Amino acid sequence: MQKTNKIGDKITEARKKINITQNQLAEKLFISPQAVGKWERGESMPDIITFGRLAEILGVDLNYFSENFQSTAESIILEPQVELLPE
């Protein structure tokens, strides 16, 4: 099983590429910003249903979170599936 800190790094990388804050991501997932922070620090992991929604919001393929997926600039879709509103 992949370490949670590697998944956290991937979440952070994808979130920053679409230029949203932890708070904005949390709002779109209907969870607390603290939960997003824990994921990104590797203290916990999203559940399987949340991974699907997270992939949609971040504009990545679900396989992006896989241990064998190589993270590259091309791995992130330029336009996320969810409309991002300014704060």
SS (H, E, C) 31-52: CCHHHHHHHHHCCCCCCHHHHH
- CATH number of the 4-69 domain: 1.10.260.40
CA-based torsion, 2, 37, 33, 60: positive or negative: negative
Over the stretch 60-73, which tens digit does the pLDDT of each residue have? 999 998 877 765 54
The four Cα atoms 73, 50, 39, 85 give a dihedral, to 10 degrees, of: 60
User: Whole-angstrom Cα distance, residue 18 to residue 45?
Assistant: 21
Over residues 50-55, the mean pLDDT reads 96
Overall average pLDDT of the 25-49 stretch: 96
pLDDT at 82 over 50: yes
